[in-house]
Amino acid sequence: MDPTARVPLVEHAPIHVEGVLTEASNLTLRVQLVVDGEPSTQRAVYKPIDGERALADFPTGTLAYREVAAYHISEAGGWGLVPRTVLREGPMGLGSVQEWKQVEPDADGRPASGLMDVVRAGEVPPGWLSVLQGEDTTGAPVCVIHRDDPRLASLATLDVVLNNADRKAAHIAVDDGGALWGFDHGLIGHVHPKLRTVLWGWAGEPVPDADLGRLQRLVDFLQRSDDLEALLSAEECTALGDRVSRLLSQGRFPDVPYGRYPLPWPLW
């Protein structure tokens, strides 16, 4: 029996580059996983370390490791919101390889599979939460909103844990089976507060009970495992543990910070 038969293809299958995702800020390739010598229908996203751009606030050459760390943290807590992501060799060297999730664009053109929208100020519909107010191109007041959806609340919880500095609407999607996924986690794990997200609708509100349970599972994992030390620095692992414990003890989402910019750019 082939010893790789039960191992997910993303972990071992040869990689065939299909094309470049041009909207990404770092080199991001959509690839096909090769089976029996031929490119298969199973795809992945490959981000080689050599294709990372230097950043002012994150160490160069660490983004792929952070992508993998986000997956392991999501799995350890039981969120299951990050597609399987591994660190492995590819055609352009070592990088992160993440399972491709097929998503359909919202019929009305709204971002995040229809979970976010922009409406006139004061017209937030029932079941939606306000993120921020601003002006459209004509100067009319508008409001950026997201759905009051428990799946999004779980993703918002995970982002606090990850200290995610780049939760854009484009990094949220629902697949064909209705499962919510978060993508692009290269900017996570910093030791200093960096949370920049479009999911501020629950700021100051209680964390859902289900996510409190996930936080406790993550605490237990961090106490018995050092797996993340190969992906994040010792200081970042300590900061991660502190964030989890603090969020669990407070039981509330953090308030929007006013001493720094709290949103990603662009929002979509």
**Which residue range(s) make up the domain with 178?**
9-104+149-250
Q: What are 181-237's pLDDT values in tens digits?
A: 999 999 999 999 999 999 999 999 999 999 999 999 999 999 999 999 999 999 999
What's the structural domain count of the chain?
1
For residue 113, being part of any structural domain is answered with no
Q: What pLDDT does 3 receive?
A: 46
HEC profile of the chain: CCCCCCCCHHHHCCEEEEEECCCCCCCCEEEEEEECCEEEEEEEEEEEHHHCCCCCCCCCCCHHHHHHHHHHHHHHHCCCCCCCEEEEEECCEEEEEEECCCECCCCCCCHHHHCEEEEECCCCCCCEEEEEEEECCCCCEEEEEEECCHHHHHHHHHHHHHCCCCECHHHEEEECCCCEEECCCCCCCCCCCCCCECCHHHCCCECCHHHHHHHHHHHHHHHHCCHHHHCCCHHHHHHHHHHHHHHHHHCECCCCCCCCCCCCCCCC
For residues 138-158, give the mean pLDDT. 94
Establish if 261 belongs to a structural domain.
Answer: no
Q: Is residue 221 part of a domain?
A: yes
On the question of pLDDT at 259 being above 80, the answer is yes
Beta-bridge partner residues of 87: 96
CA distance 97 to 88: 7
Mean pLDDT over the full length of the chain: 92
- Residue 64 inside a domain? The answer is yes
For residue 89, being part of any structural domain is answered with yes
Q: How far apart are CA 24 and CA 10, in angstroms?
A: 21
Measured in degrees and rounded to the nearest 5, phi and psi for residue 50 equal: -65, -15
Instruction: Please state the pTM of the whole predicted model.
Output: 0.94
Residue 141 has pLDDT above 80, yes or no: yes
Are residues 247 and 157 in contact, defined by beta-carbon separation less than 8 angstroms? yes
Identify whether 196 is part of a domain: yes
Q: Is residue 267 part of a domain?
A: no
Closest to 38 in 3D by CA, of 14, 2, 3, 7: 14
pLDDT of res. 6: 59
Task: Copy the structure tokens of residue 156.
Answer: 């918002």
Q: What is the pLDDT of residue 136?
A: 76
With respect to residue 88, please indicate whether it lies within any of the assigned structural domains.
yes
Round the CA-based radius of gyration of the chain to a whole number and report it.
Answer: 19
CA triple 97-72-242, angle to 5 deg: 135
